[in-house]
Structure 1
Amino acid sequence: MTSFSELLSSLMARVSGVGVLSGLSRLSGGANMESFAFDWAGSGYVLRRAPSAAYMADRPFGHVDEAALVRAAFDAGVKAPEVVGVLEDGDGLGTGYVMRRVMAEVSPAKILADPPPSLLADLGRELARIHAIPMDRVPDAIPLMDTGAALAELRSRFLSYGGDRPVIALAIKWCEDHLPEAAPPVLVHGDYRMGNVMVDSEGLAAVLDWELAHRGDAHEDLAFGCMTVWRFGQLDKPAFGVGSLDDYFAAYEAAGGSPVDRDRFRFWLVYRTLWWALGCLQMGQMWRSGADKTVERVVIGRRTAEQELDLVRLLEAEAPEAEQAAALPPSKPVVPEPAGEPTNREIVEAVRDWIEGSIKPGAQGHAKFEAVVAMNALGIVLRDLDVGVRAEDAALADALLSGTATLAEPGLLAKLRRAVLDKCAVDSPKYAALAAARADWRG
């Protein structure tokens, strides 16, 4: 059987000419696609591909159109990667494309620890450039988003996942009640945030991951990178964790972006937080269905709690002032440990410690990443065994979704606040917004 490296060498010979493959390694990042870095004929490249053909089956466009879109962005002066070749059936590598490698930092933690002075202005400018790409340069397969239809689809997905998460129901109803009029469509990157940009000492170096691109409202892109989860702990800097919204909007408008509508921006901030909450739930469904049995999927499935916390923080201003000032009910007590045989908690703890002491130290690259994810998964189970916190409440979710219950109801906001605090403490105890919410809510 022909090896992966042999197939990749044949691909590169086809698209780039004679050379020798070296330095092949799988990159640890990328929640959806596989990425491999390598050298060919003295230059660095990255292969981006789908883990399986089935993985691409329900996507609105494939890698051929994605590569064409990235090329259009590159040609328009956007700091997109330079695509050098697209996989064909005969290559035996699935679907994907090859780009020239950009040498810059992608880790949000490292970037945000010491961002270059120009970064916020660069982010605004680059987004304006993306939105200015002429529609006739965008491949026909790139879909047009109808916001109302997309919101209805989120509602349908929520119901298919059980329809029993009250905070998600609250957010869906709020978005339905605040749906804006359609805006003139632009090319929307769809995933413009820390983690999908590369940065060097000079500023923004590359914009990555174009798989969610579509035609739609520019404010969707403006809001997405400002979600709490994508600020990676920099809660006092609402624009990407880098700076202020005023400075970000000014940079976007100065680079040719249309004037920013603050109400429309707020809608999209809530919408995309809701979207990612359901996206996290979907990760768990992918694992259950067998489409992707990696541990990473079930762990991301539990990150729904982060988004529910953020949604309550975004929407609590809708409640009367008296409800916003109300005290929280108490948490459930921790289950005491028995003194007899090893408990489920102790068995899980033993497995986690074994991974940390025996597996993680010898792992490299993606295998080390997977070991860390497995430890995180077992940590969730340990905390859950202590308190048994659940987020499901079908009756309350139905009442919020229908509008028969609202945040004006006495005690409801306090109940939701307590629920999201306790659930996030189990699923994501290091989430920066958790500590901030505890302080704000005296929880």
Structure 2
Amino acid sequence: MTRAGVAAPVTNPRRLSGGANLESWLFDCGDEAFVLRRAPSEEWLASRPIDMAEEAAIVRHAHAGGVPAPEVVAELRPDDGIGRGFVMRCLPGTADPEVTLSSPPSLGEELAVAMARIHALDPAALPFLRVLKPADGVEALHQQFLDAGGDRPIIALGLAWLRANLPPEAQPKVVHGDLRIGNVMSHEGRLSGVLDWELTHLGDGHEDLAYGCMTVWRFGRLDKLGFGLTDIDTLARAYEGAGGEPFDPVRFRFWLIYRTVWWALGTLGMGKTWRSGVDRQIERVVVGRRTSEQELDLLRLLEGDAPEAERARPLAPAPAAPEPGDGEPTAIEMLTAVSEWLASTVKERLSGRERWELAVTQNALGIVRRQLAGRPATSDMALTQDILAGRVTLATPGLLADLRRRALDTLSADMPKYPALAQARGLWE
């Protein structure tokens, strides 16, 4: 790999298990390890707000600006014959959320410092970055919602709230856009790198602060609201102490709700990506059923605005589970048998990315089993339109209880191990 300054052959290439969009390949060259970040296809690149060369420029700018970002050492050329992408020197440590979240709380403060450095980067050096204004962003989400069917009431509730609570525009800063546990590397309890810059844009720094605090990115650390590592006050103080702007809880809540709606729609879009043939990985259809996670989280974020009487209203009982039969094996039982066979026979033969894909496949089988056992309909166009028009709100008698019941039952079928589900059951049922 002579463009990296090393005249040595590439050895031991292996695909890393993470990366919902771009591919990451770890390989050795001489005595060093490198990572190739590669686009899966030209069709997929066409839908991105920035191309691979621009992402490489962002990473270089961040690295030069004191952010713990990887060092870009080479970019792919057409004559390489392996697509679009770039090569980075491998950072020490791991991006495994379980490892990162076992780090001391001080790692959360290190993340806040890195965030402040990102927001201090000179936007003029990245003239291709788009600016995200709150009003424009909300209307784009609304259009995305309509394109996805526009029929899910809880997402409509979030959109109605966002439209009614737009914050003033902030001085545009460089925003990472995907700064969360899973996209950072830790080594021996310290922050070693910030990864995955494909969503970088200009906007409000509070968007980065809020995004990593979403429930989904805390991987079960429900009591540690600050990136799953600390509390939000400590995170905000560390951010301000490193030169970040003063923390504004109102703007923070706006972006927390905005990004929850954004990811709910992002998961819905995964199914469209799979159907189009642009990316036929099984992960796409499984992530496409994680929308119910975000609906539950969104309702938790919004329910405090409901009158006390509505928050205290009891829920309807959950539907009873079907009883197993005595005749021929049902479709549910056959799917269970397939999943058990995969676990007992195939799993031990796989490693790395393939083993991870097997886990995703078993998750897909489980989703189908539970849907066959009974999953409520997610579409309610009439209620959705009433919410968007303001005819129905959280003050409407019975609405919150109805949406809570729907959220619990849908998520129980889709992702029953989602940590916030058990907590919500304890609070609502």
**Which band: TM-score by shorter chain?**
over 0.9
Where 1:32 maps in the other structure, the secondary structure is: coil
Aligned to 2:103: 115
Q: Does 1:131 align with 2:125?
A: no
Partners of 1:60 and 1:141 within 8 A in 2: no
Question: What is the CA–CA distance in structure 2 between the aligned matches of 1:144 and 1:98, rounded to whole Å?
Answer: 27
Cα deviation, residue 287, structure 1? 1.1
Question: What is the CA–CA distance in structure 1 between the aligned matches of 2:207 and 2:105, rounded to whole Å?
Answer: 25
Aligned partner letter, 2:316: P
Aligned to 1:52: 41
Cα deviation, residue 398, structure 1? 1.1
| Equivalent of residue 66 in structure 1, options 38, 55, 61 | 55
Question: What is the CA–CA distance in structure 2 between the aligned matches of 1:133 and 1:440, rounded to whole Å?
Answer: 43
Aligned to 1:75: 64
Aligned to 1:192: 179
Partners of 1:116 and 1:201 within 8 A in 2: no
Aligned to 1:395: 382
Partners of 1:19 and 1:41 within 8 A in 2: yes
**CA deviation profile, 1:37-58 (whole Å, cap 9, x unmatched):** 0110211100000111111101
Aligned partner letter, 1:85: A
**CA deviation profile, 1:159-196 (whole Å, cap 9, x unmatched):** 11111110000000000100111100000000000000
Aligned pairs for 1:222-237 (under 5 A) are: 222-237=209-224
CA-atom RMSD in angstroms? 1.1
Aligned partner letter, 1:393: D
Aligned to 2:366: 379
Cα deviation, residue 362, structure 1? 0.5
Q: Which runs of 5+ in 1 are unaligned?
A: 1-11
Aligned pairs for 1:18-29 (under 5 A) are: 18-29=7-18
Partners of 2:116 and 2:244 within 8 A in 1: yes
Cα deviation, residue 339, structure 1? 2.8
Q: Does 1:328 align with 2:322?
A: no
| Equivalent of residue 246 in structure 2, options 249, 252, 259 | 259
Cα deviation, residue 141, structure 1? 1.5
Aligned to 1:345: 332
Question: What is the CA–CA distance in structure 2 between the aligned matches of 1:129 and 1:14, rounded to whole Å?
Answer: 29
Partners of 1:117 and 1:203 within 8 A in 2: no
Where 2:252 maps in the other structure, the secondary structure is: helix
Aligned partner letter, 1:72: H
Partners of 1:309 and 1:420 within 8 A in 2: yes
Aligned to 2:345: 358
Cα deviation, residue 117, structure 1? 4.5
Where 1:430 maps in the other structure, the secondary structure is: coil
Question: What is the CA–CA distance in structure 2 between the aligned matches of 1:77 and 1:261, rounded to whole Å?
Answer: 25
Partners of 2:105 and 2:229 within 8 A in 1: no
Aligned pairs for 1:157-168 (under 5 A) are: 157-168=144-155
Aligned to 1:6: none
Aligned to 1:35: 24
Report runs of 4+ in structure 1 exceeding 4 Å deviation.
Answer: none
Question: What is the CA–CA distance in structure 1 between the aligned matches of 2:105 and 2:407, rounded to whole Å?
Answer: 36
Aligned pairs for 1:165-244 (under 5 A) are: 165-244=152-231
Partners of 1:46 and 1:100 within 8 A in 2: yes
Cα deviation, residue 60, structure 1? 1.5
Please, what TM-score do these two structures have when normalized by structure 2?
0.98
Aligned partner letter, 2:42: A
Cα deviation, residue 202, structure 1? 5.0
Cα deviation, residue 433, structure 1? 0.6
Question: What is the CA–CA distance in structure 2 between the aligned matches of 1:388 and 1:437, rounded to whole Å?
Answer: 18
**CA deviation profile, 1:202-261 (whole Å, cap 9, x unmatched):** 511100000000000111011000000011111111000111111000000000001011
Question: What is the CA–CA distance in structure 2 between the aligned matches of 1:389 and 1:355, rounded to whole Å?
Answer: 28
Cα deviation, residue 389, structure 1? 2.3
Aligned partner letter, 2:108: L
| Equivalent of residue 280 in structure 2, options 280, 285, 293 | 293
Aligned pairs for 1:72-111 (under 5 A) are: 72-111=61-100
Aligned pair count reads: 429
| Equivalent of residue 154 in structure 1, options 124, 141, 144 | 141
Cα deviation, residue 293, structure 1? 1.3
Moved more, 351-360 or 277-286: 351-360
Moved more, 207-216 or 117-126: 117-126
Please, what TM-score do these two structures have when normalized by structure 1?
0.95
Where 1:45 maps in the other structure, the secondary structure is: strand
Where 1:355 maps in the other structure, the secondary structure is: helix
Aligned to 1:4: none
Aligned to 1:7: none
Q: Does 1:311 align with 2:260?
A: no
Aligned to 1:8: none
Partners of 2:103 and 2:189 within 8 A in 1: no
Aligned partner letter, 1:23: N
Aligned to 2:259: 272
Identity %: 50
Q: Which runs of 5+ in 2 are unaligned?
A: none
